[in-house]
Structure 1
Amino acid sequence: MKELKRLFSYLGPYRWDMLIGGLLVLVETVFELIIPVLMADLIDVGVGRQDLHYIMVKGLQMGVCAVLALITGLLYARFAARAAYGWGARIREAQYTRVQDYAFSNLDRFETSSLVTRMTTDVTVLQNAINGGLRPLVRSPVMLVMGLGLSFWMNARLALVFVVCAPVLALILFFVVRTVAPMYGRLQKAMDRLNNVVQEGLTAIRAVKAFVRDEYEEEKFQSVNQELMQTSQRTFHFAVLNLPAFQFTMYTAMVLILWFGGGMILKGELQVGELTGFLSYVLQVMNSFMMISNVFLLLTRSLASAHRIAEVLDEETALASPAQAVEEVPDGSVDFDGVSFKYRADAREYALAHVDLHIRAGQTVGILGGTGSAKTTLVQLIPRLYDATEGTVRVGGRDVREYDLKALRDAVSIVLQKNVLFSGSVRENLRWGDPDADDETLWAACRAACADEFLERMPGGLDADLGQGGVNVSGGQKQRLCIARALLKKPKILIFDDSTSAVDTATEAKIRAALAKLTGVTKIIIAQRVTSVMNTDLIVILEDGQIHACGTHDQLLASDPIYQEIYASQMKGGEEHGPSAQC
């Protein structure tokens, strides 16, 4: 309940819409409750005395009350919709903003599909709670209190029926809510699993078709879809039990009232108009009980969704800028002093262990290593995408934890191993590197990345549409655009994480030549090809998360067996090289 209460703080300017909506429901309910009193007078006085004028006056009063109730009801719908959808928009915005502040370690805790569900389905549940719950939440207590009061005022003996029915209805509601409450959480998790399968299937649709795995994906989707269906059926099977149970109790109460009321009429203790008006209040009181039960069910489901949303909002960001953070990175020097790192605190082994590495500003460093040797992990510590578990990472002579995150990451440009382009034009994607770059600057970066070769042939050039995720360009073209985007940042440290793997060797040589002309920039190149790093100032070989060897190409070729093996397999077709034969 505390989480739902906290989310109401996001109502902001829509709080007044919600309050006005509640007030309008109150007014509407009062008008509706007046109608049975007028109807009783119409029957007992107007019909009993055959007074046509009295009947017309009371009928007109009832009509006015009905029209006013209709008007206030329509106005309520307008204000409730504004409050519900405005509130939902603000919660979604708050979640999305929060996710943007997450560090990589925070994102590792949530599946993408789950975050999507929390920003869409869970927010919709809260919106529906306002749209469908505000009216009965205000209306039902007023109808219950006033209906009971007027019922006892009209005939206290008949009203005792409510004393019997109320505990029965309370027990039914308690049973339904207690049974359904944990089911709503499982329902939302089933929705997460469905969204995860849909996301994976659509993202990898080309791979699915290439491997002819359509039927396998259909079966996987059918499995989670059936799970969601069965979970929904079980949940709402119990959730809708309150309706027939409440109706049974309500109609039983009406039969008892008609039985005892009919006997009282025959004895002259009750008039027909009073019984008719009393029955109207019976219906209103019973309806109020039903509405209260629906409110409880909406509240129960809302609590499950509110808890999931609160998990996103309350997730403590693992990385943040310190107080009085350093706003400028002086140079591109990088130092690893006794650095060890693991992705989870409870992990048994370190992904990186005891790393000592010193890179001077302006130096070009190549990093080689087998799959899983933690090459990417190493460079992710430089822009502080993760924090070192032990030891210190320094950039420009300062601990990276002393810098303002934005300043540090602006000084470090990284071309990720998995290339990411966004829907839109080439120009829009390149301007992620420099929002103010003019066409001349953009073309210069494209020439350095050898992207101009294919852009000049594309219709529209810089204005060519890349499609969703860059589907209109090949893997190599995508890599070159990502390199151009990184160059536009004009960083002090430039990191290439195996970012030329999809380009041919001739194009890679041109890109290396263009990078060599960059002065004052520290370049760190992760690669699988020896040719990508053999001309660098320093080559670092990683093995099992530790530095195996450091040196220039000539030094490593003369002394290191791992480098000799890599060189021999790539440059000599697997033949033994002289120095390696001696090992």
Structure 2
Amino acid sequence: MSKVGALFLLLFACMDVCVLSVLRSLQLSPQNSLFFPCPPLVALWGGELTRAVFLLLLLLLCANGLSGARVFGAVQSILVLCLHLPTYVTLLHALGWAAEEEMWGWHSWERMFQGYLVMMVSWIYWTQYVQSLLVSLSLSVSSVWRPRSSKQEPKKKATSPLRRLMSFMRPHFGCFLAVMLLVGLSSFCEMAVPMYTGQVTEWIQNKGTPDAFTEAITIIAIMTAVSAVMEFIGDLMYIVTMSNVHSTVQGDVFQAVLKQEIAFFDRTPTGDLVSRITTDTNIMSEALSERLSLLMWYTFRMLFVFFFMVKQSWKLSLLTSMGLPVIWVLPKFTAHLRERISVKIQDALAKANQVATETFSCIKTVKSFANEDGETKRYERCMEDLYALNKIEAAAYAGTTSANSMTTLIMKVSILYYGSMLVTRGTVSSGELVSFILYELQFASALDALMHSYPEVKKAVGGSEKIFEYLERKPQIPPEGTLAPKSLKGYVQFQNVKFAYSSDIDNVILKGVTLEMKPGQITALVGLNRSGKSTCVKLLERFYQPQGGQILLDGEPLDSYKDAYLRQKISVVSQDCALFARSVRENIKYGCPDVSDEDMYRAARLASAHNFIMGLSKGYDTDAGEKGGQLSGGQKQRIAIARALIRQPTILVLDNATSDLDSENEQQVYQALLSERVNNCSVLLISTKMSVVERADHIIVLHDGVVEAEGRHHQLLESSQLYAQLVKKEMQ
């Protein structure tokens, strides 16, 4: 609040005290009144209107330093402060209820304090609830009636995480409806107990018949048992349903991530992805399974309790409802704070998981460089950031809890004070007051549970924001093609292909490559590092899209083929072949689980892998270990070659596929692959060993992103200086 605003509030309060003091001196009782013998209702309206006029004049004098919104809010506050009591008394008088005490007690200091309390509550209602509702309604109406230009397209609103989460719950609407019905019946049975407790109190006080006491106790026991059974069934149905929702969300997130383009995985760390799919969804599921259940249960209970509270005493219920906005505003602010902190905590946790994933996946490198302490310090720094955020969250939670406890305590004291006054006046009986107090205790308990559960639900929803970003993210790849011909020759053409891994024009990898792979032939790509050899392979696999030119397969653009068909017809074996922590059999049959064992044995023999596999402890059922860690580098490459050959591809790409093999095994592999031509498929060979390259039918020399020369081995020795240097270096 600004200094001008604070000064205005101080002057406002001082003037109000002065005005009220004057009116108090003029009207001390019904026998001594300025407005006597006017009717008391007229005197009430006259005094409060006089007070309002003086305060509005003060506002006009001090309004120069205030904005229009502040002036409007001050006018509202003055009207509420001065006119709420006359309106309330007039309503009581119109309904025929006794209101003499309120008519003549308006000028007391107690009423003044109550007036400021009502003004504060109304201001909270207006600013936090009514104003936001009016703004949303005005935006809705303006969006409907605002004329839209024919060229202007409607903007697509981002779906909120809560609404996205509700879409997963919608298929289980019947189960949630049944749970809500059970919750309602259980809450109703439980809330009937305090009513009969009040009847027992009156029986004890008035010494009624024993039958009435026995009847009340019996009904309490039956209601409690029925409530417990329904609560058990409802909890069971809810937990099972939420487990199903969690499995669906986690499965959809995993599938959505797998559909992203390769560039997405290049930019996003693996640890971050794993953390989002597993940790974030688990946190969200646990919080929603527990907290959302409490939110639903205690909402029903609070509604039923308030119904019975109004039935016992509407005046005490009105006093209770006046304190609700103050209590509700606290968790509303803290929920937004904890939601923002939750997002930061999830990001910090994802970074820590990324460090752990990187360290464990490269553990051999870490140990070979004796950098265990360095990685530990990296992880500790991530934990320190996480600890700092957890401290902020803990402070917000502690502040919310203490504020909630203080406000609920003030409400209880106010109800006891006002209730004792009503009992003294004979407005309510002692039994009704006991029942109301019991209801108020349950109401406060339900409200406290709601205020604790609501921020937790908001926190879970905030933590799920990144999850739903992955779900809603569209892969940045062109639409899938429709071609899937029964036969494919394997004729590949690169026509003036240009490509860069980023938008940086100084980092262009391919600068207009034109080449072709003829069916049934062996085409070799050679060149220095970063000449673009592996990039051509990635473009052929359609992991990336060229920024210029096009790639044709049997005369058709590569994008016009179906993804699954293309993956089946093109098999790639790279230098850094990756195996899964599964058996050798599962690794070779990866993606083709229905292939027969005979085809598996044939592919293994072509890859010169069958003999060493049979020598393993369990043969083809031997576990390869994490990333194939139980096998040597050469064994992993031969299994990867067998995995590619088992698909019987039309195009086989060998990108330094035998770099870890010894000379004997390498000759065996190439003897099988190049001599038998593997079902007459097109072979693209990339190798740094020129003794292998020279056996190719056609050799293409790449240099600095362009084709420098092409032809057979003996032709290139004469026409290409770069090719001759590569051959000479290997001989030396």
Q: TM-score, normalised by structure 1?
A: 0.92
* Contact 1:450 1:507 (8 Å CA) reproduced: yes
Tell me the C-alpha RMSD between the 2 structures.
Answer: 2.3
1:554 paired to 2:714: yes
State the alpha-carbon separation in 2 of the partners of residues 340 and 120 from structure 1: 39
Residue by residue over 1:430-469, the C-alpha shift from the partner in whole angstroms, topping out at 9 and shown as x without a partner, is 1126434333332222222111242232122222222232
Which amino acid in structure 2 is aligned with residue 121 of structure 1? Answer: T
1:253 paired to 2:411: yes
Give the structure 2 partner of residue 204 of structure 1: 362
State the alpha-carbon separation in 2 of the partners of residues 382 and 91 from structure 1: 34
- Give 2:507's match in structure 1, choosing from 327, 343, 349: 349
- Following TM superposition, by how much is the alpha carbon of 1:296 offset from its aligned partner in structure 2, in angstroms? 2.9
Give the structure 2 partner of residue 569 of structure 1: 729
State the alpha-carbon separation in 2 of the partners of residues 10 and 141 from structure 1: 22
Residue 699 of structure 2 aligns to a residue whose secondary structure is strand
Residue 540 of structure 2 aligns to a residue whose secondary structure is coil
Match runs of 1:34-433 below 5 Å: 34-266=192-424, 268-319=426-477, 322=480, 324-328=482-486, 330-345=488-503, 349-432=507-590
Residue 352 of structure 1 aligns to a residue whose secondary structure is strand
Residue by residue over 1:3-45, the C-alpha shift from the partner in whole angstroms, topping out at 9 and shown as x without a partner, is 4323333346533322222222121211121111111111113
- Give 1:522's match in structure 2, choosing from 682, 707, 714: 682
- Following TM superposition, by how much is the alpha carbon of 1:347 offset from its aligned partner in structure 2, in angstroms? 6.3
State the alpha-carbon separation in 2 of the partners of residues 452 and 418 from structure 1: 21
Structure 2 unaligned runs (5+)?
Answer: 1-158
- Following TM superposition, by how much is the alpha carbon of 1:417 offset from its aligned partner in structure 2, in angstroms? 3.1
Residue 542 of structure 2 aligns to a residue whose secondary structure is coil
* Contact 1:332 1:395 (8 Å CA) reproduced: yes
Residue by residue over 1:270-294, the C-alpha shift from the partner in whole angstroms, topping out at 9 and shown as x without a partner, is 4332222111221232233333323
State the alpha-carbon separation in 1 of the partners of residues 717 and 448 from structure 2: 82
* Contact 2:336 2:458 (8 Å CA) reproduced: no
Give the structure 1 partner of residue 659 of structure 2: 501
Residue by residue over 1:336-364, the C-alpha shift from the partner in whole angstroms, topping out at 9 and shown as x without a partner, is 00111223456653232211111211121
Give the structure 2 partner of residue 534 of structure 1: 694
Q: In structure 2, do the counterparts of structure 1 residues 325 and 452 end up closer, same or farther at CA, with 3 Å as the change threshold?
A: closer
State the alpha-carbon separation in 2 of the partners of residues 309 and 231 from structure 1: 20
State the alpha-carbon separation in 1 of the partners of residues 591 and 334 from structure 2: 56
Which amino acid in structure 1 is aligned with residue 596 of structure 2? Answer: D
- Following TM superposition, by how much is the alpha carbon of 1:398 offset from its aligned partner in structure 2, in angstroms? 1.4
Give the structure 1 partner of residue 172 of structure 2: 14
* Contact 1:338 1:392 (8 Å CA) reproduced: yes
* Contact 1:320 1:405 (8 Å CA) reproduced: no
Which amino acid in structure 2 is aligned with residue 381 of structure 1? Answer: L
Residue 345 of structure 2 aligns to a residue whose secondary structure is helix
State the alpha-carbon separation in 1 of the partners of residues 610 and 524 from structure 2: 26
Q: In structure 2, do the counterparts of structure 1 residues 451 and 433 end up closer, same or farther at CA, with 3 Å as the change threshold?
A: farther
* Contact 1:329 1:411 (8 Å CA) reproduced: no
- Following TM superposition, by how much is the alpha carbon of 1:525 offset from its aligned partner in structure 2, in angstroms? 1.4
1:5 paired to 2:163: yes
- Following TM superposition, by how much is the alpha carbon of 1:260 offset from its aligned partner in structure 2, in angstroms? 3.1
State the alpha-carbon separation in 1 of the partners of residues 472 and 582 from structure 2: 33
State the alpha-carbon separation in 2 of the partners of residues 425 and 417 from structure 1: 21
More divergent stretch after superposition (67-76 vs 159-168): 159-168
Give the structure 1 partner of residue 42 of structure 2: none
Give the structure 1 partner of residue 612 of structure 2: 454
Q: TM-score, normalised by structure 2?
A: 0.74
- Following TM superposition, by how much is the alpha carbon of 1:237 offset from its aligned partner in structure 2, in angstroms? 2.6
The count of residues paired between Structure 1 and Structure 2 equals 572
State the alpha-carbon separation in 1 of the partners of residues 594 and 295 from structure 2: 53
Give the structure 2 partner of residue 576 of structure 1: none
State the alpha-carbon separation in 1 of the partners of residues 716 and 270 from structure 2: 43
Give the structure 1 partner of residue 669 of structure 2: 511
Q: In structure 2, do the counterparts of structure 1 residues 311 and 53 end up closer, same or farther at CA, with 3 Å as the change threshold?
A: same
Which amino acid in structure 1 is aligned with residue 686 of structure 2? Answer: I
Residue by residue over 1:384-404, the C-alpha shift from the partner in whole angstroms, topping out at 9 and shown as x without a partner, is 222222211011221111111
Structure ranking higher on relative contact order (CA contacts 8 Å, 6+ apart): 1
State the alpha-carbon separation in 1 of the partners of residues 230 and 367 from structure 2: 57
Residue by residue over 1:269-328, the C-alpha shift from the partner in whole angstroms, topping out at 9 and shown as x without a partner, is 543322221112212322333333234313322332332122212221234664643444
* Contact 2:481 2:561 (8 Å CA) reproduced: no
Which amino acid in structure 2 is aligned with residue 113 of structure 1? Answer: G
Residue by residue over 1:186-212, the C-alpha shift from the partner in whole angstroms, topping out at 9 and shown as x without a partner, is 111111111111111111122222221
* Contact 2:183 2:300 (8 Å CA) reproduced: no
* Contact 1:47 1:55 (8 Å CA) reproduced: no
State the alpha-carbon separation in 1 of the partners of residues 666 and 161 from structure 2: 54
- Give 2:703's match in structure 1, choosing from 533, 543, 548: 543
Q: In structure 2, do the counterparts of structure 1 residues 465 and 67 end up closer, same or farther at CA, with 3 Å as the change threshold?
A: same
Structure with greater helix percent: 2
Q: In structure 2, do the counterparts of structure 1 residues 390 and 97 end up closer, same or farther at CA, with 3 Å as the change threshold?
A: same
Give the structure 1 partner of residue 624 of structure 2: 466
Residue by residue over 1:139-196, the C-alpha shift from the partner in whole angstroms, topping out at 9 and shown as x without a partner, is 3443333333432332233334324422211221232123222212111111111111
Give the structure 1 partner of residue 98 of structure 2: none
Residue 241 of structure 1 aligns to a residue whose secondary structure is helix
Q: In structure 2, do the counterparts of structure 1 residues 198 and 464 end up closer, same or farther at CA, with 3 Å as the change threshold?
A: same
Q: In structure 2, do the counterparts of structure 1 residues 91 and 433 end up closer, same or farther at CA, with 3 Å as the change threshold?
A: closer
Which amino acid in structure 1 is aligned with residue 523 of structure 2? Answer: V
Which amino acid in structure 1 is aligned with residue 728 of structure 2? Answer: A
Which amino acid in structure 2 is aligned with residue 540 of structure 1? Answer: I
Q: In structure 2, do the counterparts of structure 1 residues 15 and 119 end up closer, same or farther at CA, with 3 Å as the change threshold?
A: farther
Q: In structure 2, do the counterparts of structure 1 residues 135 and 283 end up closer, same or farther at CA, with 3 Å as the change threshold?
A: farther
Q: In structure 2, do the counterparts of structure 1 residues 463 and 163 end up closer, same or farther at CA, with 3 Å as the change threshold?
A: closer
State the alpha-carbon separation in 2 of the partners of residues 463 and 192 from structure 1: 35
- Give 1:492's match in structure 2, choosing from 650, 656, 674: 650
Q: In structure 2, do the counterparts of structure 1 residues 146 and 77 end up closer, same or farther at CA, with 3 Å as the change threshold?
A: closer
* Contact 1:368 1:541 (8 Å CA) reproduced: yes
- Following TM superposition, by how much is the alpha carbon of 1:50 offset from its aligned partner in structure 2, in angstroms? 4.4
- Following TM superposition, by how much is the alpha carbon of 1:242 offset from its aligned partner in structure 2, in angstroms? 2.5
- Following TM superposition, by how much is the alpha carbon of 1:84 offset from its aligned partner in structure 2, in angstroms? 1.0
Q: In structure 2, do the counterparts of structure 1 residues 218 and 174 end up closer, same or farther at CA, with 3 Å as the change threshold?
A: same
Residue 337 of structure 1 aligns to a residue whose secondary structure is strand
Residue 351 of structure 1 aligns to a residue whose secondary structure is strand
* Overall identity of the aligned pairs, in %: 25
Q: In structure 2, do the counterparts of structure 1 residues 253 and 348 end up closer, same or farther at CA, with 3 Å as the change threshold?
A: farther
Q: In structure 2, do the counterparts of structure 1 residues 463 and 144 end up closer, same or farther at CA, with 3 Å as the change threshold?
A: closer
Bigger Rg, which one: 2
State the alpha-carbon separation in 2 of the partners of residues 240 and 366 from structure 1: 68
State the alpha-carbon separation in 2 of the partners of residues 470 and 132 from structure 1: 41
Which amino acid in structure 1 is aligned with residue 275 of structure 2? Answer: T
* Contact 1:415 1:495 (8 Å CA) reproduced: yes
More divergent stretch after superposition (307-316 vs 494-503): 307-316
State the alpha-carbon separation in 1 of the partners of residues 380 and 585 from structure 2: 41
Which amino acid in structure 1 is aligned with residue 718 of structure 2? Answer: A
* Contact 2:320 2:415 (8 Å CA) reproduced: no
Residue 332 of structure 1 aligns to a residue whose secondary structure is coil
State the alpha-carbon separation in 1 of the partners of residues 263 and 452 from structure 2: 40
* Contact 1:15 1:83 (8 Å CA) reproduced: no
- Following TM superposition, by how much is the alpha carbon of 1:266 offset from its aligned partner in structure 2, in angstroms? 4.8
Q: In structure 2, do the counterparts of structure 1 residues 464 and 163 end up closer, same or farther at CA, with 3 Å as the change threshold?
A: closer
